[in-house]
Chain A
């Protein structure tokens, strides 16, 4: 148990849909992350939030839009996605400046 809960676990969406992924943690860690994991590729860092402020945007297309309303919740809003966006999307938390990441179980996204 990593203290990070992601919903939904699985999501199938069409290219014209709008959906949101949710990540929740209640351990008081102030850094939260979105990673993308595609088959045969390394985990790709997408966004970083420190103390609710976005500190990194790793050249992610604008069809992915993150939101961090408070230190316990992180969202990834999705719209007009492409089939190549199908992947496992992982949320993680850490102490700010910490080297140890705690990952959620991820959302397996399929874009049709």
Chain B
């Protein structure tokens, strides 16, 4: 049973464009929603995260939008660059010592 559904599976964006990756969750008890970025040959690394009491969080060109009523959250990458080409994972976690639940990932390619 997949608790976090991520789409699209792959995404091609022109340089300078906006990349949008969407995630939906089922468990309303999740209380922390991080995004991880993974470059080829490397492990994933935390990119940005949000709590459900906030509707938006921005860090540089990266923004998380959070819709608690719809149980959805999304990552927007503004002015996408070739260096942003990577696999992105959304995730969710309950409080306490429970493991992080990951979406299946989105492979982003930014072409010049």
A and B associate: no
A-to-B contact residues, CB < 8 Å? none
B-to-A contact residues, CB < 8 Å? none
